[in-house]
């Protein structure tokens, strides 16, 4: 019961939904842990705020290094941040951490960086990583103008990689989005995977609250 969380873009709520999923599975008595293989925009302590939120939402004892193997300070595309840091993002290191976490938990929620095809090194991107991990995908759709196209493109690429889209979450990132319900209906008609929940716009996102909005029974 491990999942790879991707988004239609950066800043669409992947961390919020990932933490909410951890809380939802933990409420069922499962051992859960979040995993952020690559993060950019890390603080002076060389830690990612997103990864620390995942760490806090986990109930399995793991080190920060296991949860976030690669962390870069500049808030830019990870392959560029890595190159500027003199580092190459290696999948073997990521897979080692994933296997360690999988051995300790019933559910590992893996949060990707940016959108699905964000480059991670000179040859590999987020899609390659998802394929290496061989996990079902949950897509976080940032509900704002342009979301239908972004969501359907993401779905098509996931299918093209031979992966399964297990579900999607509509996260309202634009409080004044026009035709919100019609946009959600359009996506439901075109995405075969189930809609796990609609997350309303929140000034102060609360993963515990969002956990109650997600129907994880639909993941099957």
DSSP annotation of 215 reads -
Q: Give me the catalytic one of 14, 30, 36, 123.
A: 36
CA distance 215 to 219: 8
Residues sharing a CB contact under 8 Å with residue 35, sequence separation 6 or more, in sequence order: 54, 66, 67, 97, 98, 101, 108, 109, 110, 111
Of 163, 135, 161, 126, residue with least CA distance to 37: 126
How far apart are the two ends of the chain, measured CA to CA in Å? Answer: 9
Is 36 a residue of the active site? yes
Q: In 105-143, where does DSSP find H-type helix?
A: 126-133
CA distance 123 to 127: 11
CB 5 within 8 A of CB 157: no
How many residues make up the chain in this entry? 220
CA distance 121 to 96: 18
Q: Which residues are catalytic?
A: 36
């Amino acid at each position: 019961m491990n999942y790879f969380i991707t988004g239609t873009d950066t800043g669409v709520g992947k961390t919020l939904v990932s933490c909410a999923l951890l809380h939802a599975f933990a409420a069922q008595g499962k051992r859960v842990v979040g995993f952020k293989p690559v993060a950019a925009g890390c603080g002076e302590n060389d830690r990612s705020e997103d990864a620390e939120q995942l760490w806090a939402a986990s109930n399995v004892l793991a080190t920060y290094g296991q949860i976030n193997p690669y962390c870069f300070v500049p808030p830019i595309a990870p392959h560029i941040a890595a190159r500027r840091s003199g580092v190459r993002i290696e999948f073997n290191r990521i897979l080692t951490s994933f296997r360690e976490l999988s051995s300790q938990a019933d559910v590992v929620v893996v949060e990707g960086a940016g959108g699905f095809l964000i480059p991670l090194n000179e040859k590999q991107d987020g899609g390659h990583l998802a394929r290496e991990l061989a996990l079902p995908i949950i897509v976080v759709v940032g509900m704002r103008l342009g979301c239908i196209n972004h969501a359907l493109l993401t779905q098509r690429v996931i299918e093209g990689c031979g992966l399964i889209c297990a579900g999607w979450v509509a996260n309202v990132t634009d409080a004044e989005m026009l035709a919100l319900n019609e946009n959600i209906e359009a996506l439901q008609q075109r995405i075969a995977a189930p809609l796990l929940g609609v997350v309303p716009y929140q000034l102060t996102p609360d993963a515990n609250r969002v956990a109650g909005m997600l129907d994880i029974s639909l993941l099957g």
